[in-house]
Amino acid sequence: MDDEPDLREIATIALELDPEISVRTCGSGPEALEALAQTTPDLILLDMMMPVMDGPMTFAEIRERFGKKTPVVFITARTSPEDVERLVSLGAHGVIPKPFDPMKLINQVRFFVDHV
């Protein structure tokens, strides 16, 4: 989930190069919560900075509503050690730095799916 349509499109194109990956995108926290009420993905990629509900708020709401069954990885430009530590302390499974490399994104996502 990312509020920037261009980044969602690039991530989708990159991830769908793997025929085993199916992608559903959302442009906001509330949209993601609505989508999660209908499906349980293998992994959630979540932007940290979004309007209405930022990533940590969305993450907290996901955990409250749906529990801990789905791993969450943040994609964010905020990758200082303190920021990463904060996200991991909230229960995130990892952080992928922005700007992300579309050619490496599949491997990064696969790593988190396979090691959770």
Chain segment 51-109, per-residue pLDDT in tens: 889 999 999 999 999 887 889 999 999 999 999 999 999 999 999 999 999 999 999 99
Note the pLDDT of residue 115.
81
Note the pLDDT of residue 56.
94
Q: Which residue has the higher pLDDT, 29 or 115?
A: 29
**pLDDT band with cut points at 50, 70 and 90 for residue 114:** confident
Angstrom distance (rounded) from CA 69 to CA 52: 25
Paired strand residues for 76: 97
| pLDDT of 42 above 70 | yes
**pLDDT band with cut points at 50, 70 and 90 for residue 113:** confident
Q: Which residue has the higher pLDDT, 60 or 4?
A: 60
pTM, to two decimals: 0.90
